[in-house]
Amino acid sequence: MKAHLPTLRHAVVAAAAAFALTACGAILPKNEPMEILQPQVQVTPDPAWPRANWQLAIPRPNANEMLDSRRLVVSPTAGRIEVYKGVAWFDQVPDIVQSSTVAAFEDSGKILAVGRQANGLRADFALQLDLRNDEAVYRTPAGPPEINLVVSARLIDFSGSRVIASRTFRSTATAAATDVHSVAHAFDAALGSFVHDLVGWTLVNGQQAHEADEQRKRERAAH
């Protein structure tokens, strides 16, 4: 079963007149046509993932000012960062990553409970994410860009306030063409691949830590 996170591809507020690039620091005209994109991230649960009888909180990922926005970031040449003109995500990028991750855990059917940290969930573990890179990179001037997504993750045990496991995830996807919709599909693919790997990694390491903790409790009770 594939999880669709979410199902709507594009919600058009106003058709974009063009998809040229604009400098990241530029102030956009108030009357600029803007197309709003809603990701369609697909994550297929792995039957081999362990079943977790514990609860997980996922705080909003940390990100720098450039990535903590609704714009699609692009690097047309080395050392140059811009955004696509006339188009934006429906939400801030860290919120999209958080929502996609929560939904993937829920749809996996492998975990007792999962939610955003702010919703009052009494979690056993927390999954802290740092969004380090999420941009379209042009390797050649005429070719389609490659999406580079880099996220650092730490799984933290609430009871002992200790890091159970940490890993830096790197996910790439090459756009089928240079138009912005093809680039958006590539962003979807890179995010879906990352979330799939993240869910599996979290379930394995969290369950191992949970079982070890339960074993220690039994040993203490036996004495």
Burial class (CB in 10 A: 0-12, 13-18, 19+), 6: middle
Q: What mean pLDDT do residues 48-69 have? A: 96
Distance CA 202, CA 124 (A): 13
H-helix or E-strand spanning residue 75: strand 73-75
Q: Give the residue ranges of DSSP H helices in the chain.
A: 93-108, 180-222
Asked if 188 contacts 39 with a C-beta cutoff of 8 angstroms, the reply is yes
Span 116-170, pLDDT tens digits: 976 677 899 999 999 999 999 998 888 999 999 999 999 999 876 799 999 999 9
User: What pLDDT shows up at residue 34?
Assistant: 85
User: What pLDDT shows up at residue 30?
Assistant: 52
Strand partners, 42: 4
Distance CA 157, CA 124 (A): 6
pTM: 0.84
Span 89-103, pLDDT tens digits: 999 999 999 999 999
The model's confidence at residue 17, banded by pLDDT at 50, 70 and 90, is very low
User: What pLDDT shows up at residue 27?
Assistant: 39
CB atoms within 10 A of CB 161: 8
Burial class (CB in 10 A: 0-12, 13-18, 19+), 150: middle
Q: How far is CA 19 from the centre of its chain?
A: 24
Distance CA 95, CA 67 (A): 11
Q: What mean pLDDT do residues 172-186 have? A: 96
User: What pLDDT shows up at residue 79?
Assistant: 83
- Domains, the chain, with CATH or none: 55-222 (3.40.50.10610)
User: What pLDDT shows up at residue 204?
Assistant: 97
Would you give the end-to-end CA distance of the chain in angstroms? 46
User: What pLDDT shows up at residue 56?
Assistant: 96
Q: Which residue from 164, 148, 173 is spatially nearest to 74, judged by alpha carbons?
A: 148
